[in-house]
Amino acid sequence: MKTYLLLLIGSVTIGQLTHSNASAQSSDSLFLRVTLEEATVQGVDFVQPKSLDSPKAVTILDPTEWSSSASITEALEFVPGVDVQSRGAWGVQTDVSIRGGSFEQVALRVNGMRWSAPHTGHHLMNIPIDPEDLSHVEVVRSGSGPWAGVGAFSGAINMETNSGASGNRATFTAELGSFDWQRLRGHVNWKLGKLNHSLSLSRATTAGHIMNADAEIQRVFYGVNWDRKNQRWTGLLAGETKAFGAQNFYTSVYPDQYEETGSAVAQLGWELTQNRLRIQAGLHGRYHADRFELYREGAGWYNLTDEGFYVAQWDLPDTAGLYAPGASWYAGANLHRSFVTAANALVQWKSDDWTFSAAADARNEVIRSNRLGGALEGSTAEDIYVKGDDRQNLDGYVSAHRSGQGWDATLTYGVNANSRFGTFGLPAVQLTKTVGTHGRLFGSAGRSVRHPSFTDLYYNIGGAVGSETLEPEQSDQLEAGARWKLASPENGALFIESTRFFRRGTNLIDWVQFDGSEVFEATNLSAVDFMGGDVAIQYQQPSFEGIHIQQARVSATWMDASRTSQGFTSNYVLDFVRVKYDALVRVAGIGPVVWTLRGSMQERNGSAMEWNDAALLQLWGTELSFKGSDGNQLSWRGHVRLDNAFDVQYADRGSVLQPGRMVRFGLTFEWKD
């Protein structure tokens, strides 16, 4: 099956190479058109090549791909090489992996700063930013440890926010959909002097597609930027709260789970460009709180009795004591708070052919909990957070880049130093060769590292046992590929890319259940090799009169591993998408309407994903977008979106059933000064 589809697509591919032009465009616009080869890749290294010249496989999303999404993770579902596993729909909780890596092996960078979730990678994508507030999203489909830092094991996701770049304007959005989905969002951009401001407030709720799948999400975002001669200042403040029924999220033995999370982020960045010198610096702070109830508490659910049992409030009472007769082992909710503070800096000097860079990222990661960490000195029985841990981490690198005579080469040496796990060297090399005018050959090699999360180290409840003896996991990766552009002024541009990759992981951290055991244990696996490739073709047509294909992309990703789960069940490392086919078509020129078709077909290695068909899991959806205006300051746009059009019943992770067919309708009004 795989061979015939690959032959049909061709033996060459492109990841999507479009860019939102963050400095000049607003991501609220549904009908942006951009030039693919002029897109700037932000996450490969600090040289920031154009996408055609990237030494790594990179997918850069067009803003139209996330304009109707409740969460950016909905758009990532259709990106080549990306595996999106949702425990809760609409961005309630999502694990993202790249090229077979686990959800812990992906780095997230926002406005040039790495965001980390030391408690658990399950919370990394709790991003307190609405998709409409993003202007640039890209996926680096390769390990990027020296530049992106700890966690960029199999790849990285890089985002830029849009902070008032489009002048004075205000928008209001309302959305309704299946399962009583409701979403309201207000947004204002304004300019005072040389300061550009952006403020957004949103709230979304759903009754859920099954019992105990209700959710409420609230976000607030403020962004600001200031350009002064050769300096640029950027800042953001953002917060998010989520409360949701977590039916079967982490175990099907105790299905009636519930979770509340909250996050707050503050960030400040500064950049100076003067002649051949470029300096960047940034400060970052992230607070995350988590309350997890293995037995959902509240009216109609479980209540704590005087005897210390959590008793269900329905016809057949159930208690935590049922699983431990005579005693209640369940003592109540897991409570966690994590704090991350970080500072980074970059110094870069450019000559005619050479660019020299040196950068560092220093951060402190802290956990306070009633479950994770060692006993806190001075804590008493009345304290809530009686356990905790903290660690310091330093990522740094030096890099030399040379371009000339059709060649681009970068040699980098990175270092990771951690107060608990020691020091690691992270060398890397990248090459790009120009072939003709629009052809490129590229390759890269490098090393990445990832430290255990606090959950990996300390969790021990409900049939899951962490290990304080875990070692950091490392990977060495190789990638080679080719990229071409074929274009004509009348017929648009066709982009083609083909990549192959190899990644050897050592001491890989996994949660496994050994044959005959009833618990999952955190452990280091020995070396596992992952190998595969990406194949895709993308077409883009410049705007013209009449009905035309504005954008089309077909892609295929395949991979395999050198090891299988023999003698144990792998919960993460050996559970990956073996084959994935993605498609996207957008047709414009039908009056004010744009029609979009998107689809993903997946075959998984392992048992985490389940669906009601023995063939490939197929997720297809379609959308109609439209716009209009009064000819003056008021305009409107909207969409009707259909997801899971064939009503496939499937579980992305274990027994977490995902929604079937669902429809959403949204309408946005915009006023511009």
483: in domain: yes
Question: What was the pLDDT predicted at 461?
Answer: 79
Question: What was the pLDDT predicted at 209?
Answer: 94
Question: What was the pLDDT predicted at 608?
Answer: 53
Question: What was the pLDDT predicted at 10?
Answer: 38
Question: What was the pLDDT predicted at 282?
Answer: 97
Largest pairwise CA distance in the chain = 79
Q: Which run of H or E residues covers position 249?
A: none
Question: What was the pLDDT predicted at 292?
Answer: 96
Please tell me the distance from the alpha carbon of residue 117 to that of residue 124, in angstroms, as a whole number: 5
Which residues have a Cβ under 8 Å from the Cβ of 371 and sit 6 or more positions away?
Answer: 334, 335, 336, 387, 458, 459, 460, 461
637: in domain: yes
- Enclosing domain of residue 546: 2-294+333-672
407: in domain: yes
Record the tokens describing residue 444, joined without a space.
Answer: 């890269």
Please tell me the distance from the alpha carbon of residue 93 to that of residue 86, in angstroms, as a whole number: 6
322: in domain: no
Q: What residues of the chain score a pLDDT lower than 50?
A: 1-34, 323-325
Q: Are 612 and 648 in contact (CB under 8 A)?
A: yes
Question: What was the pLDDT predicted at 16?
Answer: 36
Burial class (CB in 10 A: 0-12, 13-18, 19+), 159: buried
328: in domain: no
Question: What was the pLDDT predicted at 9?
Answer: 34
8: in domain: yes
Q: Are 369 and 451 in contact (CB under 8 A)?
A: no
CATH code of the domain containing 266: 2.40.170.20
9: in domain: yes
Query: Into how many domains does the chain fold?
Result: 1
Please tell me the distance from the alpha carbon of residue 596 to that of residue 590, in angstroms, as a whole number: 12
* DSSP labels, 89-143: GGGTEEEEEETT--GGGEEEEETTEEE--SS-GGGTT---S-GGGEEEEEEE-S-
Short-list 223, 202, 226, CA closest to 266: 223
421: in domain: yes
